[in-house]
Structure 1
């Protein structure tokens, strides 16, 4: 029986604007994935923010999301290799159940979502952060990819999706800047893959230090 201590499990936080390709990139990585979008608040939550000057819920504001619950799930995965995750229906803005997630003590997993960068400092403080990335691309490409996805999945009404799409396209550079300021490294998919490979090998990616997350 080996006397070596178990390899600790760490997380790569994968952020980026809505439609930047986070989910597809994470799925292709071959690593276990925690979808942070499942931690959105429900549509009747009185603390949900509104888009200024409208009656639209601002699902792109951090207050629309339960950061504490998401962090608890990440911590539990790192400690035990398993947790329970809400099943969230975006079309109805509601939690419809709960599913188990078991990563079987894999030493690295991805937690991806629009607000992943908001957890960089807290994951660093817990000692579980392997890296934090922010996928970025051309705002027009992101707009097209996001709209096609949301229409295909029937996420919200068409007028809502168009209003949100134009707003996010205009705000995209600011979104990337905010996530970068929170400690996520902005990069395209090719660089993100290289940093992910480095994290899986137990190496710190160049330019990524805990100090950046503070």
Structure 2
């Protein structure tokens, strides 16, 4: 026995199928529209749109990520509504690693953090002593910094956001504009070292060896002498 559906039945089934497809499409569109917070170096921005990954959210926010920047979650990972994508911008620093001059990229928030992340037994860099902008913090809050100046070592416990000037003031040390101040990281210990630089004029006397030679001059009057320097 064969079943021959009526035209009304066929239309009803087709309509129901269309509703299911439409409902599925609407659900897919609804779930692909996301509200995400993008935070770049402490500055936040809310973005909304049809995106799937953290990289899509950053693109929607107009954020360009450098090769050395830190992104969490990773750019290729999926994000959901309510998630936060964090970016830490990397900065290039001139450092000395085991006695060799080089450069290093870091997202650390302190000088000590930059140095401690280097794969070296001893690393150092010039301390930030900017007079035109906020100084980079020397160390993390609560970290002990050994301040070495004029043959004396003074231990200082760093507070949040304290730069080189503040740490030196805590240690009772003053540094002139031309003095060299370096941050060193050796064996897990943080040291802020001040080397005095003195400018001035120095004079010295150097004896130059010479020889005296006597020559007869047929044209000179008898009994006269003349000194000639060559």
Normalised by the size of structure 1, how large is the TM-score? 0.21
Q: Say which structure is richer in helix.
A: 1
Q: Say which structure is richer in strand.
A: 2
Higher relative contact order (CA 8 A, sep 6+): 1
